[in-house]
């Protein structure tokens, strides 16, 4: 495993890493004693003070071990230090201990103890404890999920200047999760926290603006927010790295992207580890080093980036490198499985099936590429997606763009639509909005729904053409319902009032069309039915049950966890409701 590079955290922040810096200065109980900083060469002095019973020193050393600012990261020992400091009355240590117990390694039983610690800290006035307890209740950890209680706790944490609480609260309003969707309110919450120095709020604001919060994408502003937050918030570095990797709002620079992801990984972001691993695997902005990539994947996997577990098995099958990391990871996953996290059991099975799946994917990719060479446009598209998804071949977005452009040139308008998308976002090629617009129009006019959706996105965001929301809506109408993302985009327009008056009924109508086989569209529909003017709770309950009942995998764990918590909460509420 990596020395000083374990990775953990949900969107917006890492639950095991506080926003305070790892280099924490502690004051001795004696006023005549100099301050001690728990990092680098000073960790020995800090440890000595901890052994003398100075709980602040134990807390600070625990943070240093969590962040890896001492010799190497050691989560188990950090947890022991937090346990001791918490027992001595340091509520900050109670919060950090709860964060450790809430990670993937903590097992199902860890959630209950963590909730008790967060509540204890919250009752003592620690804002972060209120926020962490609110997030636990929102997700249904340690009992039935309770969105109303979660919101109240997050509001309490946010009003106490805990930026993570503000980020989680704003995300509830962005997603309409536990409340009616209100992007303006979400943005206001984040802007206040960001202006007050909350790095995680700046990052969350940037990531939502990046994805089109308040309808339109504003990459230059998102990049500025990521840059502001990166020094204190690892996830902001990974978001900034993505901008450099794709040339979004900045000049494309893969070496810079790797540097940022590597930095984020060493600061505790599982996403940074996963993305740095991919760069090391493919030689993007750094020499290709498969064994080192495997170590990064192992760290990301064990901290909860479960898709990285499958990537770890895949790289060992593909290169023969990293077997030691793979074997150690499988053993630890089995322990986590036995500790009460069923998804760990599923992931072990996914990893075991990787080799046979990889062989089938290799054969299919080779067959499609050969047919493409022979002039089969459909095969070019299939081969392109293999390169985009890394199925049987190394991920290569430039090759995806090349193959889909060949399909277009061979007369397949589906290839034109995909080529248009690649050009509009700069995927594997320099962005060219004018060419993307031309190809998108060609595909849309020819009946390719995906082309209409991409063209609509360009009009909605003013990419290569003046912004025109009404024109975008017309194009999304042509894409929906075959292209479900077009339906979701229309639902968003109606819910936000982008087309005039806010129209919840129309939003729900379009979100129904986006819902298919327990996908994200169904989850969003359930939220609308729950929180928009007290809609159809029975239908929401049925949707949540379907999502909760879907097999848990590395790709859907978080959505399934939240859906199950919301289903349990809603079922309890409906039973308790008088006739």
Answer yes or no: is pLDDT of 126 > 90.
yes
The predicted model gives 69-80 an average pLDDT of 77
The predicted model gives 248-265 an average pLDDT of 90
What is the rounded distance in angstroms from the CA atom of residue 288 to the CA atom of residue 65?
29
* Of 2-16, 47-61, 407-421, minimum mean pLDDT range: 2-16
Nearest alpha carbon to residue 111 among 87, 84, 81, 135: 135
What is the rounded distance in angstroms from the CA atom of residue 550 to the CA atom of residue 558?
12
User: 317: burial class by Cβ within 10 Å (0-12, 13-18, 19+)?
Assistant: middle
DSSP 36: E
DSSP 34: P
What pLDDT is stored for residue 510 in this prediction?
A: 95
DSSP 105: G
Answer yes or no: is pLDDT of 575 > 70.
no
- Tens digits of residue pLDDT in 376-403: 999 999 999 998 877 778 778 889 999 9
**Is the distance from CB of 485 to CB of 453 less than 8 angstroms?**
yes
H-helix or E-strand containing 388?
helix 377-389
* Of 114-123, 308-317, 383-392, 560-569, minimum mean pLDDT range: 560-569
Answer yes or no: is pLDDT of 193 > 70.
yes
What pLDDT is stored for residue 558 in this prediction?
A: 61
H-helix or E-strand containing 493?
helix 484-496
- Tens digits of residue pLDDT in 327-345: 999 998 888 888 777 778 8
H-helix or E-strand containing 272?
helix 270-282
Count of CA atoms in the C-beta half-sphere (13 A) of 14: 33
The predicted model gives 139-145 an average pLDDT of 73
Taking the CA atoms of 281, 219, 208 and 119 in sequence, report the sign of the dihedral they define.
Answer: positive
C-alpha distances in Å from residue 213, one per residue of 183, 186, 216: 7, 9, 6
The predicted model gives 257-284 an average pLDDT of 91
Nearest alpha carbon to residue 532 among 577, 578, 576, 494: 494
* Of 20-34, 55-69, 135-149, minimum mean pLDDT range: 20-34
What pLDDT is stored for residue 31 in this prediction?
A: 29
Nearest alpha carbon to residue 320 among 280, 357, 291, 278: 291
What pLDDT is stored for residue 360 in this prediction?
A: 83
Answer yes or no: is pLDDT of 26 > 50.
no
What is the rounded distance in angstroms from the CA atom of residue 378 to the CA atom of residue 384?
10
The predicted model gives 11-31 an average pLDDT of 32
Q: What is the CA radius of gyration of the chain?
A: 24
Q: How far is CA 494 from the centre of its chain?
A: 26
* Of 256-260, 427-431, 524-528, 543-547, minimum mean pLDDT range: 427-431
> Is residue 501 helix, strand or coil?
coil
Nearest alpha carbon to residue 422 among 412, 435, 413: 435
pTM of the entire predicted model: 0.72
What is the rounded distance in angstroms from the CA atom of residue 344 to the CA atom of residue 409?
45
**Is the distance from CB of 25 to CB of 37 less than 8 angstroms?**
yes
**Is the distance from CB of 487 to CB of 515 less than 8 angstroms?**
no
Confidence of residue 34 (pLDDT cuts 50, 70, 90): very low
What pLDDT is stored for residue 30 in this prediction?
A: 29
> Is residue 163 helix, strand or coil?
helix
Name the more confident of 6 and 79. 79
> Is residue 473 helix, strand or coil?
helix
DSSP 577: S
H-helix or E-strand containing 37?
strand 36-37
The residues facing 36 across adjacent strands are: 26
User: 579: burial class by Cβ within 10 Å (0-12, 13-18, 19+)?
Assistant: exposed
Confidence of residue 11 (pLDDT cuts 50, 70, 90): very low
What is the rounded distance in angstroms from the CA atom of residue 8 to the CA atom of residue 168?
17
**Is the distance from CB of 329 to CB of 304 less than 8 angstroms?**
no
Nearest alpha carbon to residue 279 among 298, 293, 268, 266: 293
């Amino acid at each position: 495993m990596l020395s000083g590079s374990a990775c953990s955290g949900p969107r917006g922040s890492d639950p095991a890493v506080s926003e305070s810096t790892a280099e924490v200065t502690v004051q001795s109980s004696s006023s005549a004693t100099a301050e001690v900083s728990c990092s680098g060469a000073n960790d020995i002095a800090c440890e000595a003070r901890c052994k003398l019973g100075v709980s602040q020193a134990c807390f600070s050393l625990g943070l240093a071990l969590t962040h890896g600012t001492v010799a190497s990261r050691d989560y188990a020992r950090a947890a022991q230090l937090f346990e001791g400091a918490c027992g001595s009355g340091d509520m900050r240590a109670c919060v950090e201990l709860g964060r450790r117990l809430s990670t993937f390694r903590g097992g199902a039983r860890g959630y209950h103890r963590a909730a008790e610690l967060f509540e204890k800290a919250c009752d003592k006035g620690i804002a972060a404890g209120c926020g962490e307890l609110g997030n636990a209740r929102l997700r249904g950890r340690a009992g039935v999920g309770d969105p109303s209680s979660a919101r109240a706790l997050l509001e309490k944490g946010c009003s106490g200047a805990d930026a993570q609480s503000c980020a989680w609260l704003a995300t509830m309003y962005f997603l309409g999760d536990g409340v009616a969707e209100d992007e303006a309110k979400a943005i206001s919450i984040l802007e206040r926290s960001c202006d007050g120095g909350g790095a995680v709020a700046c990052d969350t604001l940037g990531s939502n603006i990046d994805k089109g919060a308040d309808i339109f994408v504003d990459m230059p502003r998102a990049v500025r927010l990521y840059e502001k937050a990166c020094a204190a918030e690892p996830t902001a570095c990974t978001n900034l790295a993505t901008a450099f990797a794709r040339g979004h709002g900045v000049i494309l620079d893969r070496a810079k992207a790797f540097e940022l992801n590597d930095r984020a990984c060493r600061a505790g972001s599982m996403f940074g580890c996963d993305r740095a691993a991919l760069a090391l695997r493919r030689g993007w902005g750094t020499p290709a080093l498969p064994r080192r990539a495997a170590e990064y994947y192992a760290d990301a996997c064990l901290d909860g980036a479960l898709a990285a577990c499958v990537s770890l098995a895949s790289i060992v099958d593909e290169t023969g490198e990293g077997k030691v990391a793979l074997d150690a990871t499988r053993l630890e996953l089995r322990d986590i499985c036995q500790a009460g996290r069923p998804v760990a059991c599923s992931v072990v099975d996914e990893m075991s099936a990787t080799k046979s799946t990889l062989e089938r994917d290799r054969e299919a990719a080779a067959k499609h590429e050969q047919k493409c060479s022979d002039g089969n446009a459909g095969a070019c598209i299939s081969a392109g997606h293999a390169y985009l998804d890394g199925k049987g071949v190394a991920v290569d977005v430039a090759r995806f763009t090349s193959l889909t452009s060949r399909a277009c040139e061979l007369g397949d308008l589906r290839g034109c639509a995909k080529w248009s998308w690649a050009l509009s976002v700069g995927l594997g090629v320099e962005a060219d909005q004018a060419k993307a617009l031309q190809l998108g129009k060609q595909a849309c006019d020819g009946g390719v729904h995906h082309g209409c959706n991409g063209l609509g996105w360009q009009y909605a965001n003013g990419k290569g053409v003046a912004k025109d929301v009404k024109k975008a809506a017309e194009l999304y109408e042509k894409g929906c319902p075959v292209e479900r993302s077009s339906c979701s985009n229309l639902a968003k327009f109606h819910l936000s009032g982008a087309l005039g008056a806010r129209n919840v009924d129309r939003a729900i109508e379009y979100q129904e069309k986006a819902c298919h086989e327990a996908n994200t569209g169904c989850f969003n529909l359930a939220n609308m039915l729950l929180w928009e003017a007290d809609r159809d709770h029975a239908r929401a309950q049925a949707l949540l049950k379907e999502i909760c009942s879907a097999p848990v995998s590395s790709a859907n764990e978080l959505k399934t966890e939240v859906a199950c918590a919301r289903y349990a909460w809603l079922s309890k509420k409906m039973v308790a409701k008088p006739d």
